[in-house]
Amino acid sequence: MRVKICGITQPAQAQAIAALGATALGFICVSASPRYITPEQIQAILAALPTANRPDCIGVFANPTLAEIATTLAIAPLSAIQLHGQETPQFCQQLRQQFPHLELIKAFRISSIETLAQTAAYATVVDTLLLDAYHPQQLGGTGQTLDWRSLKSFQPQKPWLLAGGLNPGNILTALQQLSPAGIDLSSGVERSPGDKDLDLVVQLFEQLRHRA
């Protein structure tokens, strides 16, 4: 199962989290976010990561232009793009055509069954789906959980990641109810936005080992 730790801002923490077993690291490319870091900062973190067994390095954008993504990629060689805004399937298709070598992840902030149904329109234009909790002001990292029971029938055509308020204390409960291809944590393993608590990351992987 993929384990993505999102909102990474510090090279030393990125190295430690990768060493603990994270298979993906997320970097927030949304300037309004408290976890935002510049492309140059992302590049410095990527340069500090080992080349062997390097986790996927994912840039998180919200309603970007293709030019904005291209500018970031020219500085920071990411392996995946996550779209966390109101991007259309048409935009996703354009992005796929321009950067066919990158994994494309489309995130959805689930507020209703209708929102969940919208994911079907993206099945042919993205590689991975991500379900996050809805918040009227914040795009992610809110600490709010989804109604896991309402997702039991969610069986999309593409792999999907579960996000939204996950932490070491509730991860096993979530995974007892659902079988996502991966999980995505941010605020659940933090001291403050962008400052990861490595003790919580250790606890997370201990919990996942219990599941195995």
6 labelled catalytic: yes
Strand residues in the chain grouped as ranges (E): 2-6, 24-28, 56-61, 80-83, 103-110, 128-133, 160-162, 182-185, 190-192, 195-196
Please tell me the predicted confidence (pLDDT) of residue 111: 77
Which residues touch 101 (CB under 8 Å, ≥6 apart)? none
> Six-digit token pair at 156?
């999309």
**Domains of the chain, first to last:** 2-211 (3.20.20.70)
* pLDDT at residue 136, as a whole number: 47
Q: Which of 29, 57, 92, 132 is catalytic?
A: 132
| Mean pLDDT score across all residues of the chain | 93
CB 39 within 8 A of CB 75: yes
- Reported as type and span, the H/E element at residue 170 is none
Could you list the beta-strand ranges (E) of 134-186: 160-162, 182-185
Question: Can you give the pLDDT of all 212 residues of the chain as single tens digits?
Answer: 999 999 999 999 999 999 999 999 999 999 999 999 999 999 999 999 988 889 999 999 999 999 999 999 999 999 999 999 999 999 999 999 999 999 999 999 987 777 788 999 999 999 999 999 854 444 554 556 788 888 888 999 999 999 999 999 999 999 999 999 999 999 999 999 999 999 999 999 999 998 86
The residue annotated as part of the active site, out of 6, 29, 57, 92, is 6
Catalytic site includes residue 132: yes
